[in-house]
Every structure is written in structure tokens, then in C-alpha cells.
């Protein structure tokens, strides 16, 4: 029903889609996190989100900086370890183990990517699943699959929150996700198919094994681009009036190249902006995972 209303609103005025920014969604989540932090502090508990950075990649250091500033703003402690690019896998696992066993640390992340000689997935598997604020540990993927509580993968959870915040109905509607990657498409499909008012959708996942994937995207009420292929989603792949969520991106240096071509805004009923759509909700979900991990650890 909202799609019809949205199409009517947009196509009778400018012919362009309603924008779905992530910032107000993130602000609402941060407000919820700040209230939970205040309750913890009343009990004498300071939530703590630890970070590990390996190497000297500028972009990764920048992301860590954003997370540390957000941690400070929300009243989190944010212990940090910066390991040299030459570190061994065993050194990285030892740094993770120290945070795993520190009861004052409630959440932990290793900034992705790590230098090529290191195995990020192997490192991820050594993180205490209850401290895994990225929600990417295999145990947490399993919890998601069977519907047990635990940290949720941040970008998929952020997309569900973004749709809910902007009052896009999801339940009973056809969601098509382009991409089945482990960080995005696959967990998002599990999340949006769950029995919950903000999910409960008919979800289809398409990928390189489905050469005629456009046949599916063209019938989607909600289309999520999660391929990491710049410009892969063109206006002809979008049903008129549909909701389009651009989550897949690639970087050429600092330049962001989204999956969704800007011209899709002329066909969609609602669409995430080129910059400031899914990204802010991902960061907010990291802190929601961290504060919930603190609550669970200190019950
Ligand atoms: N905005 C954010 O905060 C955020 C967070 C996390 C990830 N991301 C972005 O989301 C994207 C996906 O991440 P990921 O880790 O899930 O990536 P991934 O593991 O590389 O998965 C990409 C998926 O897209 C599919 N695909 C690629 N090219 C295709 C094509 N030409 N036709 C049809 N399907 C195609 C692949 O199909 P196959 O499985 O058949 O190979 C695969 O399932 C990346 O761009 C990443 O940067 C964004």
C-alpha cells in the first residue's frame, strides 16, 4: 500500500523517487543506545567496545576513528590495539584472545580488511561470539538462522531498521536481493524472511547463477542491491514505484561506486540516496550490538 502511495506522491510531483536517508534511522538507534548506556552507567557499568586495526591502510584507520569518536559520544570505553602490517596470524589471534578474556570488554571487532597474508575469517572465528559486534561469527550466523538472540550482522539489520523507520511495509511483500554474499545478501535474506512485523517477506535471492536475474528484480516490491558491481542495477531492472535499497558499493580510491545507477530514482517509488543511505545504519547497529552484548554480559 505504501508503494502505491509513494508512487503517487513522487510521480505526480517531480517524477523522482522519495529518498530514504540513513541518518535519521541511525539517530533513532543512537538515542536508544544512549538510553541503554545511561541505565548501565547507573549500575556502575561502562560498556566497552574494543577495536583491532592491522596495518596502515588510511581508509581503515579512518573507519576506526569514526567508531572511536562515536563510542566516546555514546559513553563507551574503546580500548584499541594497532598491530603492524607484518604481524603474524598467531599475533592477531593473541590480541583477540586478550580482549576475549578481559571481562571489562563487552564487544570486539577486527577492522576489515586485514593485510593479504592474514586470514580474516580464521581470525573472526577466534572472537568470542558473545563479543562479536559485527554479528559475523559463524555461531551468530547460526543463531540468526534458527532465530536465537545474538548480535545481528550490522548491514542487514540496518536495512531492516531503515525500511521500518521510513514506514515501508515489508511483511507479505516481494523482496528481491541481488547478491548472496556472506556479509550482506545471505544474512539479509534470513532476516527479512523471519516472522516479525518488520520482516515476514517473500524473499528471493539472485546471483551470478541466475543469468536472467532481471526477471526477478523487475517484479520486486523491494529490491536490495548487494552485489558490489558498480551500476549493475539500471532503471529497466526496477518495477515502477518499487523501493530500491542500494547497499552494494565498490571504492575506486576514495570514490564510491554504488551498485544502483542514479537513473533508477526516475522509476523507483523510494530509494536510498547515493551517499548516506545504508552506511549510517550499519554503524548504528554496531553500537546496538555492543550495548546489547554489555547488557547480556552483566545481567
Ligand atoms: N553499505 C555498507 O555498509 C556495506 C556493508 C557490507 C557490505 N557492503 C557491500 O555490499 C556488497 C556485497 O558484500 P558481500 O560481502 O556480500 O559481497 P560478496 O561476497 O562479494 O557477494 C557479492 C554477491 O553479488 C553477486 N554478484 C556479483 N556480480 C554479479 C552479477 N554480475 N550478476 C549477479 N550477481 C552478481 C555474487 O554472486 P555469486 O555468489 O554467484 O558470486 C555474490 O553473491 C559489497 O559491495 C560490499 O562493499 C556494504
Ligand 1 centroid to Cα of residue 44, in Å, is 42
The region of weakest confidence among 41-55, 132-146, 241-255 is 241-255
Helices marked H in the chain: 2-12, 23-42, 58-74, 89-101, 120-124, 138-146, 154-165, 185-192, 214-217, 278-297
User: What confidence tens digit (pLDDT) does each residue in 4-63 have?
Assistant: 333 333 333 346 899 999 999 999 999 999 999 999 999 999 999 999 999 999 989 999
Residue nearest to atom 16 of ligand 1 (CA): 181
The strand pairing partners of 52, in sequence order, are 81, 110
Question: Does residue 133 surpass a pLDDT of 50?
Answer: yes
Same domain assignment for residues 163 and 229: yes
Max alpha carbon distance in the chain (Å)?
60
> Counting beta carbons within 10 angstroms of the beta carbon of residue 100, is it exposed (0 to 12), middle (13 to 18) or buried (19 or more)?
middle
Ligand 1 centroid to Cα of residue 248, in Å, is 6
Residue 194 lies in a domain: yes
The confidence score (pLDDT) of residue 253 equals 81
Ligand 1, residue 232: give the atom nearest the CA: 31
Same domain assignment for residues 116 and 172: no
Cα–Cα distance between 274 and 280 in angstroms, integer? Answer: 12
Ligand 1 contacts (CB < 6 A) are 155, 178-185, 207-209, 213, 226-229, 232, 247-250, 278-279, 282
Same domain assignment for residues 232 and 169: yes
The confidence score (pLDDT) of residue 3 equals 36
Residue nearest to atom 23 of ligand 1 (CA): 179
User: What confidence tens digit (pLDDT) does each residue in 57-99 have?
Assistant: 998 999 999 999 999 999 999 999 999 999 999 999 999 999 9
What is the span of the domain harbouring residue 224?
A: 152-281
Does the annotation list 181 as a binding residue?
yes
Does the annotation list 180 as a binding residue?
yes
The confidence score (pLDDT) of residue 15 equals 60
The confidence score (pLDDT) of residue 261 equals 98
Exposure string for 141-151, b = 16+ CB within 10 A, e = fewer = bebbeeeeebb
Ligand 1 centroid to Cα of residue 58, in Å, is 23
The confidence score (pLDDT) of residue 16 equals 86
Q: Is 196 left (phi over 0), alpha (psi -120 to 50) or beta?
A: beta
Same domain assignment for residues 199 and 276: yes
Q: Are 247 and 225 in contact (CB under 8 A)?
A: yes
Residue nearest to atom 40 of ligand 1 (CA): 208
DSSP code for 130: G
Separation in Å, CA 13 to CA 6, 16, 17, 93, 222 = 11, 8, 10, 56, 22
The confidence score (pLDDT) of residue 10 equals 33
Place of cell 581503515: 60
Residue nearest to atom 29 of ligand 1 (CA): 208
The region of weakest confidence among 7-11, 175-179, 244-248, 259-263 is 7-11
Residue 27 lies in a domain: no
Ligand 1, residue 180: give the atom nearest the CA: 43
Question: Does residue 129 surpass a pLDDT of 50?
Answer: yes
CA geometry: angle at 174 spanning 198 and 263, to 5°?
100
Same domain assignment for residues 87 and 185: no
User: What confidence tens digit (pLDDT) does each residue in 185-241 have?
Assistant: 999 999 999 999 999 999 999 999 999 999 999 999 999 999 999 999 999 999 999
Please choose, from the candidates 47, 39, 125, 59, the residue with its C-alpha nearest in 3D space to the C-alpha of residue 89: 125
* CATH number for the domain that contains residue 236: 3.40.50.720
Separation in Å, CA 114 to CA 46, 68, 96, 249 = 29, 19, 14, 19
Question: To the nearest whole number, what is the mean pLDDT of the chain?
Answer: 94
Domain count, the chain: 2
Ligand 1, residue 213: give the atom nearest the CA: 33
In the chain, pLDDT over 70 holds for what percent of residues? Answer: 95
Q: Are 238 and 264 in contact (CB under 8 A)?
A: yes
Separation in Å, CA 299 to CA 127, 138, 282 = 21, 24, 26
Residue 160 lies in a domain: yes
Residue 189 lies in a domain: yes
The confidence score (pLDDT) of residue 282 equals 96
Written as nine digits, the cell of 25 is 534511522
Written as nine digits, the cell of 96 is 583477540
Ligand 1 centroid to Cα of residue 229, in Å, is 7
Amino acid at each position: 500500500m505504501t508503494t502505491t502511495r509513494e508512487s503517487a506522491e513522487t510521480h505526480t510531483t517531480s517524477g523522482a523517487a522519495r529518498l530514504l536517508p540513513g541518518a535519521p534511522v541511525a539517530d533513532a538507534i543512537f538515542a536508544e543506545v544512549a538510553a541503554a548506556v545511561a541505565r548501565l552507567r547507573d549500575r556502575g557499568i561502562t560498556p566497552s567496545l574494543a577495536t583491532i586495526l592491522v596495518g596502515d591502510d588510511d581508509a581503515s584507520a579512518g573507519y576506526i576513528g569514526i567508531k572511536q569518536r562515536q563510542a566516546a559520544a555514546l559513553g563507551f570505553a574503546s580500548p584499541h590495539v594497532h598491530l603492524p602490517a607484518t604481524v603474524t596470524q598467531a599475533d592477531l589471534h593473541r590480541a583477540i584472545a586478550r580482549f576475549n578474556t578481559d571481562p571489562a570488554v563487552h564487544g570486539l571487532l577486527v577492522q576489515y580488511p586485514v593485510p593479504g597474508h592474514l586470514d580474516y575469517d580464521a581470525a573472526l572465528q577466534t572472537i568470542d561470539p558473545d563479543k562479536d559486534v559485527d554479528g559475523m561469527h559463524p555461531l551468530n550466523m547460526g543463531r540468526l538462522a534458527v532465530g536465537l538472540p545474538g548480535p545481528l550482522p550490522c548491514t542487514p539489520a540496518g536495512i531492516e531498521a531503515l525500511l521500518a523507520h521510513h514506514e515501508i511495509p515489508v511483511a507479505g511483500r516481494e523482496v528481491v536481493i541481488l547478491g548472496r554474499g556472506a556479509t550482506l545478501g545471505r544474512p539479509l535474506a534470513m532476516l527479512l524472511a523471519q516472522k516479525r512485523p518488520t520482516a515476514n517477506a517473500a524473499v528471493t535471492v539472485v546471483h551470478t547463477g541466475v543469468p536472467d536475474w532481471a526477471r526477478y528484480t523487475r517484479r520486486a516490491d523491494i529490491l536490495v542491491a548487494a552485489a558490489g558491481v558498480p551500476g549493475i542495477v539500471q532503471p529497466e531492472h526496477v518495477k515502477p514505484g518499487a523501493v530500491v535499497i542500494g547497499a552494494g558499493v565498490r571504492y575506486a580510491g576514495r570514490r564510491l561506486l554504488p551498485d544502483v545507477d542514479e537513473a533508477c530514482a526516475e522509476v523507483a517509488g523510494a530509494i536510498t540516496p547515493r551517499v548516506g543511505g545504508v552506511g549510517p545504519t550499519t554503524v548504528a547497529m554496531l553500537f546496538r550490538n555492543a550495548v546489547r552484548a554489555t547488557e547480556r554480559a552483566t545481567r
